[in-house]
Amino acid sequence: MIKRIVFLLLALLMAFAMAQYEDVDPSGQTVTFWHQHSRSRGEALDQIVADFNATNPYGITVVAEFQGGYGDIFQKMLPLLGTEDAPNLVVAYQNQAATYQLAEGLIDLEPLVKSEKWGFSEEEFADFFPGFVGSDVFPSFGGQRLGFPPNRSMEVMYYNIEWLKELGYDAPPSTPAEFKEVACKASQQPFSKATSEGSVGYELSIEASRFASWTFAFGGDIFDYENNEYTYNSEEAVEAMSFLQELFDEGCATAVTESYGDQSNFGAGRTLFTVGSSSGLPFYRSAVDEGAQFEWSVAPLPRTTADPVMNIYGASVSIPAGHSPEEELATWIFVQYYTNPEVQAQWAQVSNYFPVRQSVAANLGDYFEANPAYKTAFDLLPYGRAEPPTPGYDFVRDMIRQEMAAIMDGADVQSTLDLANSEANLILEDQLSEMP
């Protein structure tokens, strides 16, 4: 009976929230959009904004402002939360959005998404990849939708097809055991077309997303959503980090020592495998074209699961609190435009991010043909999983990177991860204690 009453109350609250925008007039509003895109992506976004400004029937004007990288934007946002000085729209990773919401700094987008007048139809919403739109719903904040995705990237394994054939293999490894076997052979048998000396099977970028990706590949997760706690010391995480440590101990893997060093060494034919973001595809292509000029592609990480488990991530756009309903609605209308199939096809080809709607694939045939590695990665999107949208995850990521480095240097895996997990949950507890 109590559950039924709670359900009815929540339904009434949602109906009220959706109704608050029904009679709002967004005409003539100016929307300030803080983003991190520069160079070709910045130019493409400027064109999208210009097209919106010229064609929307409400006379809404969007002003897109480059504000530096994600970290720069995050620091600029903190003192402005809840005030009129905050932008109308801001790029934010899920953990950053969670931190903003500790100060009630964002609006819940669910009423706008489900609004009969201003929202998506059921058919339109079903067109979005479920894992993408689901990653912006925050269990820690009562299921509020604190962002909406304009694009996503995915962690993939880059591999040298020609070197793999020289080693006697006709397909990338699909299990950890196969990966180790091939990586160790590559460390002993350099690629014939390499443009510099030395060879290694795998070059590991030590950072928190790589920790998550390898844990996913071993069938685990780094967060327990039911109990709202980190699980960095799970059996699967221990197995994944022990596996990587063995690769280091046996000379089959090494750590990246300089920015994008794995990408450069891959292009030179010195590194057989790397794992990184799909958004790096054009940069890998350039590295290979300017380096050893070989055939290459991408694949899922080797796994213990039946199906791939792909780490999908990317910043969404959030609407900060502190503005009028008219400004909020005008901002949402631009978000809808930014995520429509035609604009998404345009944005995907320039940015090399993945579009967030499934129907966009129909408009990418030529692009898929010209970029087969992108198509291979695109087909893996249904297997996506996201990292936790928790407040304070930035601090946890920094800590995990340090502990991961210690493990690759030989630290005991179990005890290191036990301590890391305790510290991660203390950080989360401290963050949640500030929740309104």
Output the pLDDT for position 12. 47
Output the pLDDT for position 436. 65
**What percentage of the chain carries pLDDT values higher than 90?**
91
433 confidence band (pLDDT: 50, 70, 90): confident
Indicate whether 160 pLDDT > 90: yes
Output the pLDDT for position 7. 46
Tell me which architecture the domain covering 156-312+389-432 has in CATH: 3-Layer(aba) Sandwich (3.40)
160's tokens: 């040298």
For residue 199, give the nearest of 125, 268, 139 by alpha carbon. Answer: 268
- Average pLDDT for residues 7-36, to the nearest whole number? 77
- Alpha-carbon span 121 to 99, nearest angstrom: 30
Output the pLDDT for position 2. 54
**Cβ–Cβ under 8 Å, residues 108 and 13:** no
For residue 100, give the nearest of 136, 56, 62 by alpha carbon. Answer: 136
- Residues contacting residue 9 through CB under 8 Å, at least 6 positions apart: none
Same fold, 2-152+314-385 and 156-312+389-432: yes
5 confidence band (pLDDT: 50, 70, 90): low
**Cβ–Cβ under 8 Å, residues 335 and 120:** no
* Surface-to-core class of residue 295, CB atoms within 10 Å of its CB (0-12 exposed, 13-18 middle, 19+ buried): exposed
The pairing of beta strand 271-277 with beta strand 137-138: unpaired
The angle, 0 to 180 degrees and rounded to 10, between the axes of the packed helices 235-249 and 413-432 is 130
- Residues contacting residue 389 through CB under 8 Å, at least 6 positions apart: 94, 95, 97, 98, 135, 136, 138, 140
- Alpha-carbon span 283 to 274, nearest angstrom: 13
Tell me which architecture the domain covering 2-152+314-385 has in CATH: 3-Layer(aba) Sandwich (3.40)
- Alpha-carbon span 227 to 142, nearest angstrom: 14
Output the pLDDT for position 432. 87
Least confident of 200-209, 239-248, 385-394: 385-394
| pLDDT single digits (tens) 38-89 | 999 999 999 999 999 999 999 999 999 999 999 999 999 999 999 999 999 9
140 confidence band (pLDDT: 50, 70, 90): confident
| pLDDT single digits (tens) 28-40 | 999 999 999 999 9
Indicate whether 139 pLDDT > 90: no
Indicate whether 8 pLDDT > 60: no
Give me the residue spans of the domains in the chain.
2-152+314-385, 156-312+389-432
Residues forming beta bridges with residue 145, ordered by sequence position = 137
What integer best gives the mean pLDDT of the chain?
94
Q: What is the CA radius of gyration of the chain?
A: 23
412 confidence band (pLDDT: 50, 70, 90): very high
